[in-house]
Structure 1
Amino acid sequence: MDLTWEEGRAYLKALVAEYGLPFRVETFWGELFLYLERLSAEAGRLRLTALSDPGQRLRFPVLESLILATLLPEGSFRVADLGSGAGVPGLVLKLVRPELEVVLYEAHAPRVTFLEETIALLGLSGIRVERKHLGREWPEARFPVVVSRGYGSAEKFAAQAARLLTRPGLAFYLWRNDVEPRGDPERHLPLLREVSFELPEKGGIRRLLVFSSTSELP
C-alpha cells in the first residue's frame, strides 16, 4: 500500500467525521489495513477491483460499505453478500459490525481462496465464504438481510436476492449507477427507499437501493 498505517487511519477518520458516521476507526482499523494490504497485493492478479489507489479504495468501496452499515437493522442477524469478489461490502460490514453473521457468496475459485485466506489472516469468526454461481445453483439457507455492490445491474441483484430473503427480509444494493444499468428491479422486489449520497472529491452520486421481500415497511 502507498498509504502508511497512520496516513490511512487519519484519512478514514476524516471521511467518517465528514459523513457523520457513528464509528470509531480505531476499533477496526488494524484489521481493515491488513485487508487493504492483501487487496493491493492481489487485486491485479485476481481482477478484484479497478481501483489501484489505496485512497480511492477508502473513499469509494470502504466508505460506501460504512454508509450501508449505518442503514442496516440493529442487532445480530445473518447477512448474505452476493458476488462478494474482493469482500465488498460483506467483509467490511463484518469488521465494523462484528455482531453480524456474514456469508460471502462468490463464484470464482481464486477469489474464494483470497477471501478465505483473508478471513483466516484477520482471525475473524462469524463469517465464511461459499463458492456458488448464483443463478445456476442456490444455497438452502435464507437470510433476513442480503447485500451487494456492483452486481451487474439492480435488476439482477433484486432477482437473486428475492430467492434468498426470508419473509420479512431486506435487501440493500450499492448500485454503481455511473457504470451499470438499473433495469427493472421492482419486477422482483418492492423498492422501499432510495438513498443518494455524494462521494468524496467530486466522485459523483452513489445510490443505495433498499428492497423488501414484502410490500410493507418492517
Structure 2
Amino acid sequence: MRVIGIDLSGPRNHKDTVLTIFKQEGNHLQLVKWVNNLSDQDILKEVFEQSQLDELVIGIDAPLSYEDGGGDRKSDRELRKFIVSLGMRAGSIMPPTLNRMVYLTLRGIKLSREIENLKAAYPISLVEVHPGAIIGSRLSRQNIEYVLAYKKEQSARSFIRNLLTEQGLTQLPIEIEAESHSIDACAAALGAWHWKDPSYNEKWIYPACPPQHPYDYCC
C-alpha cells in the first residue's frame, strides 16, 4: 500500500501546498517523498505515478464538498463537538463556504473529482481528513497544548514529529518541523492509513452521504 497525505492550500497558494508519500512496510509507513509548491497538475502527476506501483490511499486536508445553502455540513458540526471534547478549539473547524475557506473548498472539490477519473482504472481510495484532529485525538489530555501551539511554535512541531513516529510514520526528517504544513501533510497520511487499513481504526468518522457528500471524513 502507498499512502499520500496532502495539506492543500488555495488555488493561488501553491507554495503552502505540501504532499507526502509513504510506503507501507509491515506495521509502519516509510516516507518516500516530501514535496511542496504544487499545482493541481503536479498533484495529479504524483497520484498517477504512485497508483502504478500499488494500492493507493489519499488523505486530503480540504473540504471535498459543501452544504447547499452554505454554512456547516453536519460532519463539520459533529467533528467540532469531537475536538472540543478533546480540549481543542472549536474555531479550527470552519464552514466550507466561509469567505476565507471558499477557494480552498473549490480546489478540493476540483482535485477530488479529477482523482475520481483515475479511480476507474486504478485502486485509489480517497478520504477527507483534518490533521489537527488527527494529532489531537492521538495525544494524551495532558499534552493537548501541543496541538494548540504547533502552527506557531517549533517546539510543539518537534513534539508532534515524535508523536507521528510513535504512531508508525518512519524516516521523518527533522526539517519537517520547520513549518506546520509539512506536519499536516504527514498527519493527513496517518489519518488516511488508519481509515483504510483494517488493522487500525480512525478516532472519529463521518460516513460519506452521496451524492452531495461523496467522501468519508475522518481523523
**TM-score with structure 1 setting the length:** 0.30
Higher share in strand: 1
**Which structure has the higher relative contact order (CA within 8 Å, separation 6+)?**
2
Higher share in helix: 2
**TM-score with structure 2 setting the length:** 0.30
